[in-house]
Structure 1
Amino acid sequence: MGKKFFFLMALVISTITTNGQTQRIDSTAVYLLHRTGETLQDIKSCSFTAITTYDVPNESLGLIKHSINDKVAIKFPDKMKVTSTGDKGNRALWYNGKKLNYYSLDNNTYGFTTAPGSVIQTIDEASKKYGIEFPGADFFYPTFLQDLLSEQGTLFYLGKTIVDGRESYHIAGSDKTKSFQFWIGNDDLFLPIKLVIVYTSDKDKPQYEALYKDWTINIDYPDSMFEFTTPPKATKVKLAAKENIK
């Protein structure tokens, strides 16, 4: 951990020196997010619930909030299941290391696509190609913190607070297109508790918020859990590019 952390600190100091007039980085905030990244890179498996709300512009009513409840299970490096309920319907995704399967419980339809050999690569490809978004995905990227710092914005540690009954570290920052806040658990694992993004470059300034709860770490999930079985009378459909299912 030490060598990684010192490398990140050197990066921060260099960035501040180069962009001293526009970028302000708090080393405590960097350290806390680094610890979160360390945990999520080292675990063998995890599951959690993500409760997300997001704004959709309405011509007469302004921003209308919608919500999704996702239950996620991941077995690294190449297994994942996501079950979603909410304003976009009831659906599920299974990834078994070879295929990404999608099933709509509302329509009894299913589709699939070949997938890369890791969870992170599959998340990346499915997002870019099909518009499928995965809750909490950013935290699992190995370059999450480096990408955040490269945006030449600000990052501050604001102190401790209580979120969803859990003590957490509060971090806030901004870049050219958005402001963001993270709440990180005050425990040995430093797991994410909450995320808020405000898209400040948009005239309506829509928000995205996610609450992460019910974390379990390093459970030995059976591989069969990530296999999709076609339900009776289900209709096969083709996954359309950028259909933006969540």
Structure 2
Amino acid sequence: MKRLMWLSWSALCASLMLGPALGAETPLATDGPPRSGQAIPGQAAQESAPVDARAMAVLKRMAEYLAQAPRFRVTMRTAYDVVQDSGEKIEFGERRMVTLSRSDGLRVEVQGSDEQRRLVVFDGRMLTVFDAGENVYAQVEKAGSVDDVVRYLVQDLQVRVPLALLLVSTLPAELEQRLTSLDYVERDALTATPTDHLAGQTADVDFQVWIATGDEPLPQRVVITYKMDEGEPQFRAELSDWSLNPEVSPARFTFEPPQGAERIAMLARIRRAEADKPQNVGPQSTKETPRTPEASGSTGGPSK
């Protein structure tokens, strides 16, 4: 049975398909078209105006609110489909706690439905990816901002970071650049807090997002459909426990290896334009050969 791992793996070498830049991580999506005969409010106007003005105002308000937040913490309960060779879709899940401080760093704690725990930490100078199950970690010096390291994870390491765009300060411009259509669906009163339900498209994904209607226009739910992938798998996320002013010590963004933890290689993908240039493909650790699941004997069970 196939299983997709979204953030790290025993070799900690990126190999997942993402598409250009942050494109596949456009942080929003849709669970399909309306049922036959069911109209979306404003659908007639959409034929001449693919981006609905009301929906765009709601989305921009959310994007600007998040982009301007100096720090935040959120819990994401996510689920994603993996299309099997038979065409069957199998759902797997994760719980992520994201802590972001634009001046200090980023911390992402991940627990999978298979009970595996992983960690990504960035302190402004060093990026660390840790797999607790394997008790291995990889590090690379990467001075810069949170925006810089998110792009490095997605573009260079090819790590699939769900909702990566929600983490960057350029969120408003990124969304506007990628949108090809956007609709206002309804005011949803059945969510934990009243939300504006939007549906839209980019070149690669369809998306839906539910945004709180109050003074804090934060995303509460997201559904993404990867319409260019075989079987059109979906990614779904419930976002809760938002805190826009968490007390975060800089120590939260540093990594102390547990006893017996092994440092292994982190490899960055060579960009196509640079493929002909002789160079190292990425920062290396003290280990001469990066391990792979096959080399470490991980052959049974779902393939992530």
Higher strand share: 1
Q: What are the within-5 Å matches in structure 2 for residues 182-193 of structure 1?
A: 182-193=209-220
Letter in 1 for 2:71: S
- Deviation at 1:189? 1.4
Aligned-pair Cα RMSD in Å: 2.3
Change beyond 3 A, Cα 1:120–1:61:
same
The aligned residue for residue 50 of structure 1 is: 76
**Alignment partner, residue 147 of structure 2:** 120
Percent of aligned positions that are identical = 25
Which ranges in structure 2 are unaligned for 5 or more consecutive residues?
1-45, 270-291, 293-303
Q: Deviations over 1:117-171 (max 9, x none)?
A: 1111100111112222334321243443444444462201112114652211100
Instruction: Find the counterpart in structure 2 of residue 214 from structure 1.
Output: 241
What letter corresponds to residue 221 of structure 1 in structure 2?
A: V
TM-score (norm 1): 0.83
Is this contact kept in 2: 1:23–1:153, CA < 8 A? Answer: no
Contact 2:67 2:171 in 1 (8 A): no
- Given residue 39 of structure 1, which amino acid in structure 2 is its aligned partner? Y
Q: What is the number of equivalent residue pairs in this alignment?
A: 225
> Aligned partners of 1:163, 1:234: CA distance in 2, in Å?
46
1:174 is aligned, of 185, 201, 204, to: 201
How far the C-alpha of 1:219 sits from its partner, in A, is 2.2
- Does the Cα contact within 8 Å between 1:50 and 1:135 map onto a contact in 2? no
2:209 pairs with 1:201: no
C-alpha separation between the residues in 2 aligned to 1:70 and 1:234? 22
Q: Is the 8 A contact 1:163 1:193 kept in 2?
A: no
Distance 1:32 1:166 in 2: 16
Name whichever of 52-61 and 94-103 sits farther off. 52-61
Tell me which amino acid in the other structure corresponds to 2:205. K
User: Whole-Å Cα distance in 2 between the matches of residues 36 and 42 of structure 1?
Assistant: 10
Give the one of 41, 64, 69 matched to 2:95.
69
The alpha-carbon deviation at position 108 of structure 1 amounts to 0.9
Q: Matches of residues 1-246 of structure 1 in structure 2 within 5 Å?
A: 24-60=50-86, 62-87=88-113, 89-151=116-178, 153-162=180-189, 164-241=191-268
- Give 5+ residue unaligned stretches, structure 1: 1-19
Moved more, 59-68 or 137-146: 137-146
Q: Could you say which structure has the higher helix fraction?
A: 1
- TM-score, length of structure 2 as denominator length: 0.68
Which segment is superposed worse, 205-214 or 142-151? Answer: 142-151
Residues 126-135 or 30-39, more deviating: 126-135
Matched residue SS, 2:107: strand
Provide, for residues 77-96 of structure 1, a one-character-per-residue CA deviation record: whole Å limited to 9, x for no partner.
Answer: 34111110114731111110
Aligned 8 A contact 2:207 2:224 in 1: yes
Q: Which has the higher contact order (CA 8 A, sep 6+)?
A: 2
